[in-house]
Amino acid sequence: MLAVTTAAVTLTSVAVSPAQADPYGSLTLYFHTNFRGDYPMRYYDTRATLWSGESDEASSVRNSSDYAFVLFDDTRFGDRAFCIRPDHEEDWLGNPALGFNDKISSIKRMPNHYCHGYPEIGIRYRWP
Ligand SMILES: [Ca+2]
């Protein structure tokens, strides 16, 4: 006869997600179309005016944060503006419907995942 022993197995959750600078994720701007470029421009802050090397440079954008972001043509959160919701991306800001290639000069993070009336851009690229 076989004696069956049970071993207590404790499962501990192991964090395997990549290190993030911000628990809320980030908005990433790319210098070229289709999320390409020498390096991506990442933003975590609630408001940011893009510095001279990044202002008027972005050609695609991806929002991996939990918040909607508004992208402004002006450096002071004004002029033309578009909003991108969480888990959305736009691979070509210069498409005729937007005409926003090399235009983004400031960004603002919304308090939640809604665009609050700003025109929305991008397609959803992932689901939770
Ligand atoms: Ca601009």
Q: Which of 44, 39, 79, 77 is nearest to 57 (CA)?
A: 39
Full-model pTM = 0.80
How far does the centroid of ligand 1 lie from the alpha carbon of residue 127, in Å?
31
pLDDT tens-digit profile, the chain (128 residues): 555 444 444 444 444 344 444 556 799 999 999 999 988 999 888 999 999 999 999 999 999 999 999 999 999 999 999 999 999 999 999 999 999 999 999 999 999 999 999 999 999 999 87
How far does the centroid of ligand 1 lie from the alpha carbon of residue 19, in Å?
31
Mode of pairing for the β-strands spanning 120-121 and 81-84: parallel
Query: Rounded distance, CA 102 to CA 122, Å?
Result: 16
Query: Rounded distance, CA 48 to CA 30, Å?
Result: 16
What residue ranges define each of the domains in the chain, with the CATH number in brackets?
27-123 (2.60.20.10)
* Ligand 1 ion: residues within 5 Å (CB): 56, 73, 103, 105
